[in-house]
Amino acid sequence: MHMKKNLISVLILALCFANLVLTALLIFTIIPETKKANNLIDQVCEAISLDLNSGTATSGSQLPQDQIVDYALTADDDTLTFNFAPSEDGNTHYLVCGISLSLNKKSDGYKTYGEDLSAKKNVILADITDIIGDYTMEQYNTDKSAVHDKILKTLQKKFGADYIVDVNIVSSLTQ
C-beta of residue 167 within 8 angstroms of C-beta of residue 151? yes
Residue 12 has pLDDT above 90, yes or no: yes
Q: Residue 150 sits in which domain range?
A: 60-174
pLDDT digits (tens, 9 = 90+) for 34-56: 888 888 888 887 777 654 444 44
Give the global pTM.
Answer: 0.61
Q: Which CATH number fits the domain that encloses residue 144?
A: 3.30.479.30
Residue 87 has pLDDT above 50, yes or no: yes
Same domain, 51 and 79: no
Q: What is the pLDDT of residue 22?
A: 92
Residue 110 contacts by C-beta under 8 Å, 6 or more apart in sequence? 69, 103, 104, 163
φ, ψ for residue 168, nearest 5 deg: -110, 115
Residue 77 has pLDDT above 80, yes or no: no
Q: What is the pLDDT of residue 62?
A: 66
User: Hey, how many other C-beta atoms are within 10 angstroms of the C-beta on 107?
Assistant: 20
Question: Distance (Å, rounded) from C-alpha 52 to C-alpha 48?
Answer: 6
DSSP designation for 172: E
| 30-42 per-residue burial string, b: 16 or more CB within 10 A, e: under 16 | eeeeeeeeeeeee
Same domain, 153 and 103: yes
C-beta of residue 101 within 8 angstroms of C-beta of residue 164? yes
Tally of structural domains, the chain: 2
Same domain, 99 and 169: yes
Question: By percentage, how much of the chain surpasses pLDDT 70?
Answer: 87
User: Hey, how many other C-beta atoms are within 10 angstroms of the C-beta on 148?
Assistant: 16
Residue 67's SS3 state is: helix
Residue 139's SS3 state is: helix
Q: What is the pLDDT of residue 49?
A: 63
